[in-house]
Amino acid sequence: MMNATSNQIETHVQFLTAEEAVKQIPEAAKIMVGGFGFPGMPRYLSKALINKTNLHNLTLIMNSLGSVSILNDLFVQNRIKKVIGSFFSTNKELVKAYREGDVEIELLPQGTFTEAIRLGGAGIPAFYTPTAAGTDLAKGKEIRVFNGREHVLEQSLTADVAIIRAHKADKAGNLVYKKTAQNFNPVMATAAKLTIVEVDEIVEIGELDPDTIVTPFIFVDIVVKREEI
């Protein structure tokens, strides 16, 4: 909101280093991580999470934890309890660990995954979808028939923390994205108690075209300027 005396935007957003930011993440946290493969992934914050914390029993909510993913190091270091997402089959060691009962995997179709996050951010706890009806992914879930078609009841997703990537932030915390980085990042920003974003550039309030702002500052808690990794 605007302060009538100073004409400045009052914001709760903090501007921290990556190390300071990841220190805000609690033990055993549920963490949403933006990105579709490498595009849009918060790689700088991910490195800090691995190298600057000793967090364990983490649940990662991300599209894919591939064997070449930066965050696969958390799995190698036995710091992940569970992963929720859409695509893990390229990570043979993760699949092996799942089969041996060493890590949990919750697999969701990609559209269902995105909608579960979006509705989690909107405060809607569950929704019906025909996707996955009649497959192993529907086992143990409530099924209802609408218009002659089976629908699966899916739980929405929220998290303790979201770590995301944007292109620019202004000094209020408003975010704009670049090209394909606008994948899971904007919806994850709405669905976590604490949202930490890495950006390429921080600009003055008023420099961002309002029509380009995708994530308003109300959904952002911490901004970190990306450095070389």
Per-residue pLDDT tens digits for 83-132: 999 999 889 999 999 999 999 999 999 999 999 999 999 999 999 999 99
- For residue 6, the model assigns a pLDDT of 37
List the chain domain ranges. 18-126+157-223
Sheet holding 149-155: strands in order across? 126-129, 149-155, 143-146
pLDDT tens readout for residues 157-206: 999 999 999 999 999 999 999 999 999 999 999 999 999 999 999 999 99
For domain 18-126+157-223, is the CATH number 3.40.710.10?
no
Which positions ≥6 away from 56 have C-beta within 8 Å? Answer: 27, 28, 78, 79, 81
Model pTM above 0.75: yes
